Amino acid sequence: MRTVIAGNWKMHKTAHEAMELIDGLRALSAEFPDGVDVLVAPPFTALQAVSQRLNGDERIKLCAQTMHWENQGAYTGEISPVMLKEFGCEYVILGHSERRQFCGETNQYIRLKTRAALAHGITPIIAVGETLEEKDRGLTKDKVVTQTQEALTGLAEEQIRSVILAYEPIWAIGSGKNDDPQNADATMAEIRACLPALREVPILYGGSVKPENMAAYAAMPNINGALVGGASLQAQSFAGIITAAAPAVAR
């Protein structure tokens, strides 16, 4: 199983600042453990600058934060998979809770986007997770299993094996209150069990991941890496998380 550490920069970093962060990461990339796929997801406006600055560096891959499902058309403000491919984007985050909450993304949209990504050879990282209220009402499993199944419905097993999932409890995102690694692992086991093809799919944990807590996640059987927000905005802390993910590679 692959181990993946993805940095979601959200709405941070101008193109100029993004190039500085890439330089910082490249300076540390000799320390990245073998077998960990390292991804950065800058805002659209910095993709070209980051792509040029990477200059073909194989250690760091480019990811987008969302995309539309059509190749082109009258969709003001949207970005298509064709446009992402132009800058060498190999991955795209789909269904991040902030997109679901602030931009009205539904499971139906995420299904269309997943199909489009796969059709263009872009690996989708599909994010699922529950609110604090849903967790308190015991609805976590229902929520994440429904989100996962609705994103993947109608896909062939072989296609499902090409996706990556990310379990991000919404209450843990940006709050400093990371989920207990064993709890997260138990939820991720339930996600993995909901479709047979998910046995071979990496599932990342997201929500207040830091260099100090990554090793505990990497030790869990169902956790194959992390989707990192705040701690990916600084080269040292992101590199610390990448290094701490090494034990997951052995599985």
Q: Is 96 a catalytic residue?
A: yes
Q: Which of 95, 124, 202, 230 binds ligand PGA (CB under 6 A)?
A: 230
Active-site residue, selected from the candidate residues 12, 68, 96, 158: 96
SS (H, E, C) the chain: CCEEEEEECCCCCCHHHHHHHHHHHHHHHHHCCCCEEEEEECCHHHHHHHHHHHCCCCCEEEEECCCCCCCCCCCCCCCCHHHHHHCCCCEEEECCHHHHHHCCCCHHHHHHHHHHHHHCCCEEEEEECCCHHHHHCCCHHHHHHHHHHHHHCCCCHHHHCCCEEEECCHHHCCCCCCCCHHHHHHHHHHHHHCCHHHHHCCEEEECCCCHHHHHHHHCCCCCCEEEECHHHCCHHHHHHHHHHCHHHHCC
Residue numbers 6-25 binding ligand PGA by CB under 6 A: 8
Q: How far is the CB of 173 from ligand PGA (least distance, A)?
A: 4
Q: How far is the CB of 206 from ligand PGA (least distance, A)?
A: 4
Q: How far is the CB of 72 from ligand PGA (least distance, A)?
A: 28
Q: Is 144 in the site for ligand PGA (CB under 6 A)?
A: no
- Show the site string, 166-195: x = touches ligand PGA by CB under 6 A, - = not: --x----xx---------------------
Q: Is 133 a catalytic residue?
A: no
Q: How far is the CB of 208 from ligand PGA (least distance, A)?
A: 4
* Interacting residues toward ligand PGA by CB under 6 A: 8, 168, 173-174, 206-209, 227-231
